Amino acid sequence: MARIAAAAYPLCNLVDWAAYEAKLTLWIDDAAAQGAELLLFPEYSGAELATLGNGPWGEDHFAAIDAITARLERANAFLAGLAQSRKVFLLSGSAAIRDGDQIINRAFFMTPGGDIAPVDKLMPTRWEREALGMVGGAAPTLFETPLGKIGTAICYDCEFPLITRAMVEAGAEILLVPSCTETLAGYSRVKIGAMARALESQCWAIHAPLIGDNDWAEMVAENTGAAAIYGPPDTGFPPTGITAGAKIDEPGWTIADCDPAAVHLVRREGSVMNWADWDQQDGRLSAITQRKFA
């Protein structure tokens, strides 16, 4: 059994490192106090690192990226220390950073044992490619933990079923979906994608969005979303597929107990067998019958 917490997280224009550490400590302590063992922060919540003592960065995305990159090692050491002392697993808020001569969207998976592993967004959006020149990561990463086998699909990644399927075939039972979406339409795309991945792969999907508006950074100026924990609407899960969910733009943690055993039960005894029947698509896709009508 894993108690999982998904953050609907508003950004702040933070004054200094003390303010950053105080905010993250408060959030992590709040989830840990509720018994959470796995914490998920949203896509681009790492952008707060650009604000420390800098004030608004407006449209200067690359100055912000450089500031975040320069502060990343210190931030990771601090967050990893919290993961160790609070005995939790967590996926940090991702950010656009420089990796050599490339810009990538990267989060970090941290463990109670002090491990830190990078997780890259595989499918940059049109805006990320055109405005930032961002490139995608090379391959999905699967984490085997005492809480279950955990995969990550950062925002747009969850709209591509084969990315999740690769992780599921490798054993994933829990899919983490951090997101950053400006509009209700963008949030809805990620929500629908996360719910569809939970349906077709018969797994848990944990959605943590960035929320709130900010007048100090065009990159993260508007954010809409609701945290939620999804599963397949079948045996052992709620008929809506929604195990827990917050209201739109409601800050805080959404927490639920997510048992990997429930995944294996529904895959074995569900009313439908999406996970097992996946390969039956192959023979039906080799040719398409086309008929033309006047």
Per-residue pLDDT tens digits for 150-189: 999 999 999 999 999 999 999 999 999 999 999 999 999 9
Centroid of chain to Cα 92: 9
Q: Are 113 and 84 in contact (CB under 8 A)?
A: yes
Banded pLDDT at 55 (limits 50, 70, 90)? low
Q: Given pLDDT bands bounded at 50, 70 and 90, which one contains residue 289? A: confident
Q: Phi, psi at residue 279, to the nearest 5°?
A: -70, -15
Question: Which residues have CB under 8 Å from 192's CB, separation 6+?
Answer: none
Q: Give yes or no for a contact between 260 and 173, defined as CB atoms under 8 angstroms apart.
A: yes
At CA 145, angle to CA 11 and CA 269, rounded to 5? 105
What average pLDDT does the chain have?
Answer: 95
Neighbours of 135 (CB within 10 A): 17
Instruction: For residue 32, give every residue at least 6 positions away whose Cβ sits within 8 Å of its Cβ, in sequence order, or none.
Output: 39, 86, 87, 88
pLDDT, average across residues 12-17: 92
Are the beta carbons of 172 and 149 closer than 8 angstroms? yes
Q: Is the pTM of this model over 0.85?
A: yes
- pLDDT for 56 equals 60
219, pLDDT greater than 90: no
Distances in Å between the Cα of 2 and the Cα atoms of 48, 114, 143, 280 are: 29, 19, 14, 32
- The model's confidence at residue 89, banded by pLDDT at 50, 70 and 90, is very high
